Amino acid sequence: MSDFVSNLSLGFSVAFSWQAMAYCFLGVSLGTFIGVLPGIGSLAAIAMLLPLTFGMEPTHALIMLAGIYYGSNYGGSTASILLNLPGTPSSAVTCIEGYPMSQQGRAGVALFMTAIASFVGSICGMLIMAIFSPPIAALAFSFSAPDFFSLMVLGMIAASTLASGSPIKGLAMIGLGLIMGMVGRDLYSGLLRFSYGVDELYEGLPLVAVALGIFGLPEVIKNAGQITGRTVKAKDISFRSMLPTRDDWRRSWGAMGRGTALGSFFGALPGTGGLLASFMSYATERRLSKEPWRFGKGAIEGIAGPEAANNAAVQTAFIPTLTLGIPGDIVMAIMLGALTIHGIQPGVSVINSHPDLFWGLLVSFLFGNMMLLVLNIPLIGLWVRMLSIPYWVLYPFIVAFICIGVYSVNSSVVDLYVLIFFGFLGVVMTTLKFEPAPLVLGLILGPMLEENMRRALTLSRGDYTVFFTRPISGMFMAMAALVLIWTIYGAIKARSVRRDHLREMARNLPDD
Amino acid sequence: MKTLFATTRRQLLALAGGAAMATAVTVPAFAQEAYPSRPITFVCAFPAGSGADVLVRYFANGIQESTGHTIIVENKPGAAGSISAEYVARSDPDGYTVYVHSGFSTAVNYSLWNTPAIDPRTDLMGVAGLSALAFYLVVGVDSPYQTIEDLNAYLLEAGDQATFGASATSGRLLTAQYLSELGASPVEVPYRTGAELIPDVVNGAVDFAVTDGVNALVQQREGRLRLLATGAGTRMEVAPDVPSLTEFGMDVDQVGVWGAYVAPGTPQEIVDQLAAMFDGVLATEETREFLARAGSIVWRATPAEVDQQMADDVELGAYLVDLAGIPKN
Amino acid sequence: MTKIKTIDVCAGAFIVLIGVLAIVESLSFEIGTTRRIGPGYFPFYVGLFMVVLGVVIALERLWTKSLADTEFSFPPLRAPLLIMAAVVTFAVMVERFGLIPAVGVGVFLASLADTNTTLMQKLTVSVAVPLVATLIFKIGLDMHVDVIRWRP
Least confident of A136-150, A174-188, A399-413: A136-150
User: Does residue C32 sit within a domain?
Assistant: yes
Smallest CA–CA distance from B22 into chain C, residue = C146
For residue B23, pLDDT beyond 50: no
**How many C-beta atoms surround the C-beta of residue A343 within 10 A?**
12
Cβ contact (<8 Å) for A432 and C42? Answer: no
pLDDT score at B6 = 33
Residues A140/A342, Cβ–Cβ less than 8 Å: no
Is the N-terminal amide bond of A167 cis, ω within 30° of 0?
A: no
pLDDT, tens digit, for every residue of C43-95? 999 999 999 999 988 887 776 655 555 666 666 788 889 999 999 999 999 88
Compute the nearest-CA separation of C144 from chain B (Å): 5
Residues of B in contact with C38 (CB under 8 A): none
pLDDT average, residue stretch A261-289: 80
pLDDT average, residue stretch A272-287: 81
Residues A49/A29, Cβ–Cβ less than 8 Å: no
Whole-angstrom distance, CA of residue B32 vs CA of residue B71: 21
pLDDT, tens digit, for every residue of A67-84? 888 888 888 888 888 888
For residue B167, pLDDT beyond 50: yes
pLDDT over 70, % of chain A: 80
Chain B, window 265-324: residues with a beta carbon less than 8 angstroms from a chain A beta carbon:
290, 293-294
pLDDT score at C91 = 92
User: Does residue A489 sit within a domain?
Assistant: no
Residues of C in contact with A403 (CB under 8 A): 86-87, 90-91, 94, 102-103, 106
Q: How confident is the model at residue B81 (pLDDT cuts 50, 70, 90)?
A: confident
Q: Is B209 on the interface with A (CB under 8 A)?
A: no
Cβ contact (<8 Å) for B187 and C36? Answer: yes
Residues A138/A423, Cβ–Cβ less than 8 Å: no
pLDDT score at B3 = 33
C86 and C35 part of one domain? no
Q: Is B187 on the interface with C (CB under 8 A)?
A: yes
pLDDT average, residue stretch B287-295: 85
Higher pLDDT, A510 or A214: A214
Compute the nearest-CA separation of C151 from chain A (Å): 15
What CATH homologous superfamily does B21-133+255-324 map to?
A: Bordetella uptake gene, domain 1 (3.40.190.150)
Q: What is the ipTM of this complex?
A: 0.91
Domains B21-133+255-324 and B134-248 share a fold: yes
For residue B199, pLDDT beyond 70: yes
The count of structural domains within chain C is: 2
**How many C-beta atoms surround the C-beta of residue A375 within 10 A?**
17
What letter would DSSP give residue A105? T
Residues C16/C3, Cβ–Cβ less than 8 Å: no
Q: How confident is the model at residue B27 (pLDDT cuts 50, 70, 90)?
A: very low
Whole-angstrom distance, CA of residue B282 vs CA of residue B297: 10
Kindly give, in sequence order, each residue whose CB lies less than 8 Å from that of residue A359, ignoring residues fewer than 6 positions away: A7, A8, A10, A11, A14
CA separation, residue A266 to residues A86, A259, A316 (Å):
21, 10, 8
For residue A348, pLDDT beyond 80: no
Sketch the domain layout of chain B as residue ranges.
Answer: 21-133+255-324, 134-248
For residue B13, pLDDT beyond 50: no
Higher pLDDT, B256 or A8: B256
pLDDT score at A504 = 63
Q: Is domain B134-248 given the CATH code 3.40.190.10 in the classification?
A: yes
Cβ contact (<8 Å) for C149 and B20? Answer: no
pLDDT average, residue stretch A169-192: 88
Q: Is B8 on the interface with A (CB under 8 A)?
A: yes
pLDDT average, residue stretch C117-129: 88
Q: How confident is the model at residue A477 (pLDDT cuts 50, 70, 90)?
A: very high
User: Does residue A470 sit within a domain?
Assistant: no
Chains that touch C (3 or more CB pairs under 8 A): A, B
Residues A107/A82, Cβ–Cβ less than 8 Å: yes
Whole-angstrom distance, CA of residue A310 vs CA of residue C5: 39
Q: How confident is the model at residue B12 (pLDDT cuts 50, 70, 90)?
A: very low
A284-305 b/e (C-beta count within 10 Å ≥ 16 → b): bbbeebeebebbbebbbbbbbb
C94 and C56 part of one domain? no
Q: How confident is the model at residue B130 (pLDDT cuts 50, 70, 90)?
A: very high
Residues of C in contact with A176 (CB under 8 A): 15, 18, 50
Helix (H, G, I), strand (E, B) or coil at A153: helix
For residue B31, pLDDT beyond 50: no
Least confident of A268-277, A279-288, C67-76: C67-76
pLDDT score at C70 = 61
pLDDT score at B101 = 92
Compute the nearest-CA separation of C68 from chain B (Å): 38
A17-27 b/e (C-beta count within 10 Å ≥ 16 → b): eeebbebbbbb
pLDDT average, residue stretch B73-91: 84
Cβ contact (<8 Å) for A189 and C65? Answer: no
For residue A503, pLDDT beyond 70: no
User: Does residue C135 sit within a domain?
Assistant: yes
Kindly give, in sequence order, each residue whose CB lies less than 8 Å from that of residue B110, ignoring residues fewer than 6 positions away: B116, B118, B119, B120, B314, B317, B318
Least confident of A234-238, B7-11, B157-161, B241-245: B7-11
Q: Which domain, by its residues, includes C14?
A: 6-62
Helix (H), strand (E) at residue B261:
strand B255-262
Q: List beta partners, residue A492.
A: none
**How many C-beta atoms surround the C-beta of residue C71 within 10 A?**
7
pLDDT average, residue stretch A403-418: 85
C55 and C89 part of one domain? no
Do the bridges between strand B125-140 and strand B296-298 make them parallel or antiparallel, or are there none, so unpaired? antiparallel
Mean pLDDT of chain B: 83
Cβ contact (<8 Å) for C144 and B74? Answer: yes
Helix (H, G, I), strand (E, B) or coil at B143: coil
Smallest CA–CA distance from B190 into chain C, residue = C36
pTM, 2 dp: 0.80
**How many C-beta atoms surround the C-beta of residue B253 within 10 A?**
15
Range of A200-204, A242-246, B160-164 with top mean pLDDT = B160-164
User: Does residue A24 sit within a domain?
Assistant: yes
pLDDT average, residue stretch B66-86: 84
The count of structural domains within chain A is: 1
C101 and C125 part of one domain? yes
Which residue among A225, A401, A491 places its CB closest to the CB of C113?
A225
C48 and C87 part of one domain? no
For residue A189, pLDDT beyond 60: yes
Select from B13, B113, B238 the residue whose CB has the most chain A CBs within 10 Å, as the one to mutate to test that interface.
B13
Smallest CA–CA distance from C142 into chain B, residue = B18
Kindly give, in sequence order, each residue whose CB lies less than 8 Å from that of residue A350, ignoring residues fewer than 6 positions away: A322, A323, A339, A344, A357, A358
Q: How confident is the model at residue A493 (pLDDT cuts 50, 70, 90)?
A: low
pLDDT score at A175 = 92
Q: Which domain, by its residues, includes A433?
A: 2-143+152-226+244-459
pLDDT average, residue stretch A287-295: 79
**How many C-beta atoms surround the C-beta of residue C54 within 10 A?**
24
pLDDT score at C109 = 92
Cβ contact (<8 Å) for A399 and C29? Answer: no
For residue B30, pLDDT beyond 60: no
Kindly give, in sequence order, each residue whose CB lies less than 8 Å from that of residue C138, ignoring residues fewer than 6 positions away: C99, C145, C147
pLDDT, tens digit, for every residue of A213-247? 888 888 888 877 666 555 555 555 566 677 888 88
pLDDT score at B165 = 92
Helix (H), strand (E) at residue B129:
strand B125-140
Kindly give, in sequence order, each residue whose CB lies less than 8 Å from that of residue A248, ignoring residues fewer than 6 positions away: A109, A113, A300
pLDDT over 70, % of chain B: 89
CA separation, residue B71 to residues A301, B37, B177, B283, B300 (Å):
50, 12, 39, 19, 21
For residue B8, pLDDT beyond 50: no
Compute the nearest-CA separation of C98 from chain B (Å): 9
